[in-house]
Amino acid sequence: MSLFWRIFALNAVVLGSATALLLWAPVTVSVPVVLTEAVILVGGLVVMLVANAALLRLGLAPLDRLTKLMATVDLLRPGQRLPVQGGGEVAEVIRTFNAMLERLEQERVAGSARVLLAQEAERRRIAQELHDEVGQSMTAILLGLKRGADRAPKPLRAELQEMQEITRESLDEVRRLVRRLRPGVLDDLGLVSALISLTEDFATHTGLQVTRRFDAELPALDPETELVLYRVAQESLTNAARHADAHRVAVAVRHLRDRVELTVTDDGHGITAPREGAGIRGMRERALLIGGSLEIAPAGPTGTRITLAAPVSRKQP
For the chain, 317 residues long, give each residue's pLDDT as a single digit of tens: 556 666 767 777 777 777 676 666 665 666 676 677 677 767 777 777 777 777 777 767 777 777 777 777 766 677 777 777 666 677 777 788 888 888 887 777 777 777 777 777 777 788 777 767 787 888 888 888 888 888 888 778 888 888 888 888 888 888 777 777 777 778 778 888 889 988 988 888 888 889 999 988 888 888 888 888 988 998 888 888 887 778 889 999 999 888 899 999 998 877 655 456 777 888 888 888 888 888 888 887 778 899 999 888 644 33
| 181: number of Cβ within 10 Å | 17
Work out the angle at residue 181's Cα, subtended by the Cα atoms of residues 130 and 295, and round it to the nearest 5 degrees: 170
pLDDT at 251: 93
Structural domain boundaries in the chain = 3-105, 183-317
Q: Are 303 and 268 in contact (CB under 8 A)?
A: yes
Q: Classify domain 183-317 at the CATH superfamily level.
A: Histidine kinase-like ATPase, C-terminal domain (3.30.565.10)
Residue 239: closest CA among 288, 293, 280, 300: 280
Q: Are 295 and 240 in contact (CB under 8 A)?
A: no
Query: How many Å apart are CA 39 and CA 44, to the nearest integer?
Result: 9
Beta strand 303-311 with 293-299: parallel, antiparallel or unpaired? antiparallel
Q: Are 62 and 94 in contact (CB under 8 A)?
A: yes
Residue 283: closest CA among 309, 248, 315: 309
Give bridge partners of residue 225 from the DSSP assignment.
none
Query: How many Å apart are CA 301 and CA 208, to the nearest integer?
Result: 19
pLDDT at 50: 79
Give bridge partners of residue 252 from the DSSP assignment.
213, 263
pLDDT at 316: 39
Query: How many Å apart are CA 110 and CA 136, to the nearest integer?
Result: 38
Contacts of 205 (CB under 8 A, 6+ apart): 176
Amino acid letter, 187: D
